[in-house]
Amino acid sequence: MRPWPLQEIFVGIERDNVKVGNVVFLMAKKNGNEMASSLAIAGINREKMFKAR
C-alpha cells in the first residue's frame, strides 16, 4: 500500500515507465576494462543498427 500523498507521484512514474519501455543503466570504469566498456557501448548503440519494418 502506497502512502496517499505520494500516490500521484507513483502513478506518474509508472505511466512514464510504460512510455519508455525497457531501460538498463550500465557503468564501466573508464580504461578499467576495455572489453566491458566496448560491450556496454555496443549495447547502447545496438538499437540504432537495426530498423523495424
37 within a domain of the structure (yes/no)? yes
- Predicted confidence at residue 28, as pLDDT, reads 57
Calpha distance 6→8 (Å, rounded): 6
Report the number of distinct structural domains present in the chain: 1
Q: What is the pLDDT of residues 5-45, one digit of tens each?
A: 788 888 888 888 788 777 676 665 666 677 777 777 776 65
Confidence of residue 47 (pLDDT cuts 50, 70, 90): low
Residues 6+ apart with CB under 8 A from 27: 40
- Predicted confidence at residue 2, as pLDDT, reads 57
Q: Are the C-beta atoms of 17 and 9 separated by less than 8 Å?
A: no
pTM over 0.85: no
Give me the torsion for CA of 8, 13, 16, 21, rounded to 10°: -150
Domain with 27, as residue range(s), is: 23-53
49 within a domain of the structure (yes/no)? yes
6 within a domain of the structure (yes/no)? no
12 within a domain of the structure (yes/no)? no
Q: Are the C-beta atoms of 24 and 41 separated by less than 8 Å?
A: no
Residue 1's identity, in one-letter code, is M
31 within a domain of the structure (yes/no)? yes
